[in-house]
Amino acid sequence: MFITFEGPEGSGKTTQIQRLTTWLQKQGYAVLATREPGGTPIGDAVRAILLDKKNTAMTSRAEVLLFSAARAQLVEEVIKPFLEKGGIVLSDRFADSTFAYQGYGRGLNRDDLRRITAFATHSVWPNMTIYLDLPVEIGLRRKSNGATKEWNRMEEETLAYHRRVRDGYLALAAQEPKRWLLLDGTQGIDHIAAQIRQRVASALAES
């Protein structure tokens, strides 16, 4: 089973992935948690280019191809082999981030993004997407109070950009309500974790 986590900046995905990983492992499942962009040595090198604030000259088309290159490497090197062995893969972001950030955020053509994404993923697609929603101001404030403090190239984008991304996510979730679990990311960590566990448990029982 392939489960992805999506959300605007500071939505708490990383914490929830850690919680779910621990819980699933306790149930005896083989779990692999990864993140995008990154998750492989090549992907991590591409991530550094993508998030480097010095790269102000990066065009939207170059940006989407770099995110997609990191994704292609991650799918083939990590995700596909683990799924084929019957394991559960949890990913902190996946292709829906491209539709939200490069599609709704940057205004790139959706059909182009679909084609690029299908090529990059070999059509490996999540069975479930957990979306942690919250107002962008709250998420960005959480980030600036967090451990890293300094914003990266994407976080430095305007509030209007981040609002387009959030609206994009909500539109994507509405288009595919069966795949997406939409949760209020302003709720307490334990309460969110319980809702995620419940949904994942029922999906596993059905599979």
What is the rounded distance in angstroms from the CA atom of residue 139 to the CA atom of residue 11?
A: 6
Smaller CB distance to ligand TMP: residue 19 or 93? Answer: 93
In the chain, helix, strand, coil percent, each to 5?
55, 15, 30
Number of Cβ atoms within 10 Å of the Cβ of 180: 21
Options 78, 154, 170, 194; binder of ligand TMP; rule CB under 6 A: 154
Of residues 5 and 31, the one with the C-beta less far from ligand TMP:
5
Q: How far is the CB of 153 from ligand TMP (least distance, A)?
A: 8
Based on the shown chain and the rule CB under 6 A, indicate whether residue 67 belongs to the binding site for ligand TMP.
Answer: yes
Least distance (Å) between residue 143 CB and ligand TMP = 9
17, with CB counted inside 10 A (0-12, 13-18, 19+), is buried
- If we measure between CA atoms, which residue out of 108, 112, 92 comes closest to residue 43? 92
Which of 40, 98 has the CB closer to ligand TMP?
98
For the chain, the maximum distance between any two Cα atoms, rounded to a whole number of angstroms, is 48
Q: Which of residues 89-108 bind ligand TMP (CB under 6 A)?
A: 92-93, 97-98, 101-102
Contacts with ligand TMP, residue ranges (CB under 6 A): 9, 35-37, 67, 92-93, 97-98, 101-102, 154-155
